[in-house]
């Protein structure tokens, strides 16, 4: 055996498959033990092989479990199991507990009294290793069996390595290339394996084509009999904050913190940011010079609108910021996380947003139930008409006396005609308001 070439082959397999050289050697040992049992072993034997990659030598042992009478089925129990067609479990498989009792097999088991002849300190339940004669020549069937064992063990090691690697990456974003689209499921090549982008995790209205490069959020890694399944997402809200970490150094370093995020994929996102250092503008850092940073995130999300707002500890200020770009007159905080927001009539539709999206995202962002109400807008005085008002502020121009006027006034009706109004009592000290034209 050419040891140098053999070592090089081991290193190459380990690098290509992404598994450790030690795991490759374990795979080879299992394959050699299987081949030995095929040609030189007996049925029921458990063979262990130890391979020395430096010298190329292989040693073999037969493994036996030390048992006593309490660990064995009686003849009556065996007959009863045969009648009920119950197959006793006599091996310990991965992920299973050891069986309570065994059917004695001299190739697998040894009584504790016999084991103590060679191993005086041995106890029931332990294993002993009996050395076997090493063999170098194997038949064709044994070689094929060993090959299948190697391929199977390497695939299992690959799956385990992938599962461990991507489980550590849950909650991170990864760059992938669309490999194929089957129905509503998109298969994305994310490096060592394929990830699944299901329909509910896709951005509405976004189309995917093979060879398209995307950034995706690793939602979850699930283990299945066929291997690990990596579930990806393009709709998860944290995808936006992770994209900002890539584009904004202040966010990546922790100088600017994303405190809250609300998203309706494909339409609009609101994120609340705050700065941990004085002199750093959190909104300006996220937007970037001439909007370069935020535009990079928007382009990655297919043109989805993003509102970056300043996070505030006071609910009134935070709610007012969350409803941007609408201008807010005042915010009244009530019990049970309910707030009433007053906006000018011309800002009402802007505050609510298309299909109620702006106020809905603001409620998700702040965690408050928001009720929007319009405030009355004071019109400018109309030329040529007397101005009158019944409720003006107390700091209006004072007059010496209070007088009671009884007069008939006219208002302009909705059809443009003058309408009589009943006499009203007016405070002479209050300054008159302009006539309201509806």
Together in a domain, 30 and 151: yes
Alpha-carbon gap, residue 61 to 50, rounded angstroms: 9
Q: With cut-offs at 50, 70 and 90, classify the pLDDT of residue 88.
A: low
The pLDDT score that the predictor gives to residue 73 is 82
Contacts of residue 182, Cβ cutoff 8 Å, sequence gap at least 6:
none
Residue 196 to residues 48, 178, 207, 209, 337: CA-CA distances in angstroms? 40, 10, 15, 14, 39
Alpha-carbon gap, residue 146 to 27, rounded angstroms: 10
Closest C-alpha among 349, 348, 251, 345 to residue 297: 251
Least confident of 208-217, 262-271, 342-351, 404-413: 404-413
Predicted confidence (pLDDT) at residue 232 exceeds the cutoff of 90 = yes
Contacts of residue 138, Cβ cutoff 8 Å, sequence gap at least 6:
35, 36, 38, 39, 146
The pLDDT score that the predictor gives to residue 434 is 42
Q: Is 49 part of a structural domain of the chain?
A: yes
Least confident of 147-161, 184-198, 342-356, 404-418: 404-418
CB 145 within 8 A of CB 39: no
Together in a domain, 139 and 65: yes
Together in a domain, 347 and 402: no
Closest C-alpha among 31, 17, 10 to residue 161: 17
CATH at residue 54: 3.30.1480.10
| Span 22-44, average pLDDT | 84
Q: Is 406 part of a structural domain of the chain?
A: yes
Predicted confidence (pLDDT) at residue 99 exceeds the cutoff of 80 = no
Question: Which among 375, 405, 428 is the end of a domain?
Answer: 375
Alpha-carbon gap, residue 161 to 393, rounded angstroms: 75
Counting the structural domains of the chain, the total is 4
Alpha-carbon gap, residue 172 to 195, rounded angstroms: 14
Q: Is 381 part of a structural domain of the chain?
A: no
Q: Is 144 part of a structural domain of the chain?
A: yes
Q: What is the 3-state secondary structure (H, E, C) of the chain?
A: CCHHHHHHHHHHHHHHHCCCHHHHHHHHHHHHHHHHHHHHCCCCCCEEEEECCCCCCEEEEEEEEEECHHHECCHHHHHHHHHCCCCCCCCCCCCCCCCCCECCCCCCEEEHHHHHHHCCCCCCCCEEEEEECCCCCCCHHHHHHHHHHHHHHHHHHHHHHHHHHHHCCCCCEEEEEEEEEECCEEEEECCCCEEEECHHHCCCCCCCCCCCEEEEEEEEEEEECCEEEEEEECCCCHHHHHHHHHHCHHHHHCCEEEEEEEEECCCEEEEEEEECCCCCCHHHHHHCHHHHHHHHHHHHCCCCEEEEEECCCCHHHHHHHHCCCCCCCEEEEECCCEEEEEEEHHHHHHHHCHHHHHHHHHHHHHCCEEEEEEECCCCCCCCCCCCCCCCCCCCCCCCCCCCCCCCCEEEECCCCCEEEECCCCCCCCCCCCCCCCC
Together in a domain, 319 and 400: no
Question: pLDDT per residue over 53-83, tens digit each?
Answer: 777 788 888 898 888 888 888 878 877 777 7
The pLDDT score that the predictor gives to residue 363 is 92
Best-predicted range by mean pLDDT among 112-121, 259-268, 393-402?
A: 259-268
Q: Is 398 part of a structural domain of the chain?
A: yes
Q: With cut-offs at 50, 70 and 90, classify the pLDDT of residue 270.
A: very high
Together in a domain, 154 and 11: yes
Based on its alpha-carbon atoms, the radius of gyration of the chain, rounded to whole angstroms, reads 39
Q: Is 239 part of a structural domain of the chain?
A: no
Half-sphere exposure of 207 (CA within 13 A, CB side): 1
Domain that holds residue 365: 244-375
| Span 43-55, average pLDDT | 83
Alpha-carbon gap, residue 357 to 409, rounded angstroms: 44
Predicted confidence (pLDDT) at residue 426 exceeds the cutoff of 60 = no
Alpha-carbon gap, residue 311 to 262, rounded angstroms: 13
Q: With cut-offs at 50, 70 and 90, classify the pLDDT of residue 380.
A: very low
Together in a domain, 175 and 35: no
Backbone angles phi, psi at 229, to 5 degrees: -110, 115
Q: With cut-offs at 50, 70 and 90, classify the pLDDT of residue 4.
A: low
Together in a domain, 367 and 391: no
Together in a domain, 139 and 9: yes
User: Mean pLDDT in the chain?
Assistant: 79
Together in a domain, 8 and 139: yes
| Span 360-387, average pLDDT | 69
The pLDDT score that the predictor gives to residue 97 is 57
Q: Is 175 part of a structural domain of the chain?
A: yes
Q: Is 354 part of a structural domain of the chain?
A: yes
Least confident of 193-197, 251-255, 367-371, 417-421: 417-421
Higher-pLDDT residue of 189 and 437 is: 189
CB 369 within 8 A of CB 339: yes
The pLDDT score that the predictor gives to residue 176 is 92
Question: Which among 98, 130, 158 is the end of a domain?
Answer: 158
């Amino acid at each position: 055996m050419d040891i140098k070439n053999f070592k090089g082959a081991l290193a190459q397999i380990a690098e290509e498959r992404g598994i450790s050289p030690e795991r490759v050697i374990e795979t080879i040992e299992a394959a050699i033990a299987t081949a030995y049992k095929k040609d030189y072993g007996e049925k029921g034997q458990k063979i262990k092989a130890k391979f020395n990659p430096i010298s190329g030598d292989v040693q073999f042992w037969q493994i036996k479990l030390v048992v006593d009478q309490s660990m064995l089925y009686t003849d009556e129990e065996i007959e009863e199991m045969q009648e009920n067609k119950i197959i006793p479990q006599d091996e310990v498989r991965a992920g299973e507990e050891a069986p309570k009792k065994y059917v004695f097999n001299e190739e697998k088991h040894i009584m504790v009294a016999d084991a103590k002849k060679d191993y005086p300190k041995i106890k029931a339940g332990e294993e002993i290793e009996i050395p076997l004669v090493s063999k170098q020549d194997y038949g064709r069937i044994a070689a094929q069996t060993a090959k299948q064992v190697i391929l199977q063990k390497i695939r299992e090691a690959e799956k385990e390595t992938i599962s461990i690697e991507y489980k550590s990456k849950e909650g991170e974003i990864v760059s992938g290339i669309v490999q194929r689209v089957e129905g509503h499921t998109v298969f994305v090549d994310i490096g060592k394996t394929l990830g699944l982008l299901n329909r509910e995790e896709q951005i509405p209205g976004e189309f995917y084509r093979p060879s398209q490069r995307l950034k995706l959020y690793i939602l979850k890694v699930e283990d299945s009999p066929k291997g690990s399944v990596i579930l990806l997402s393009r709709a998860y809200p944290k995808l936006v904050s992770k994209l900002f970490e890539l584009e904004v150094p202040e966010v990546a370093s922790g100088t600017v913190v994303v405190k809250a995020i609300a998203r309706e994929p494909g339409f609009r996102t609101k994120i609340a940011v705050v700065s941990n250092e004085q002199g750093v503008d959190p909104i300006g850092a996220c937007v970037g010079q001439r909007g370069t940073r935020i535009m990079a995130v928007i382009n990655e999300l297919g043109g989805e609108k993003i509102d970056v707002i300043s996070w505030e500890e006071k609910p009134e200020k935070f709610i007012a910021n969350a409803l941007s770009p609408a201008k807010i007159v005042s915010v009244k905080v009530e019990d049970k996380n309910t707030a009433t927001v007053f906006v000018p009539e011309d800002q009402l539709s802007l505050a609510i947003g298309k299909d109620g999206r702006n106020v809905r995202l603001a409620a998700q962002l702040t965690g408050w139930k928001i009720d929007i109400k319009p405030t009355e807008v004071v019109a400018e005085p109309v030329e040529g008409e007397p101005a009158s008002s019944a409720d003006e502020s107390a700091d209006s121009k004072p007059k010496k006396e209070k007088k009671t006027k009884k007069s008939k006034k006219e208002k302009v009706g909705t059809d443009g005609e003058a309408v009589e109004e009943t006499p009203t009592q007016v405070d002479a000290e209050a300054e008159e308001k302009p006539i309201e034209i509806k």
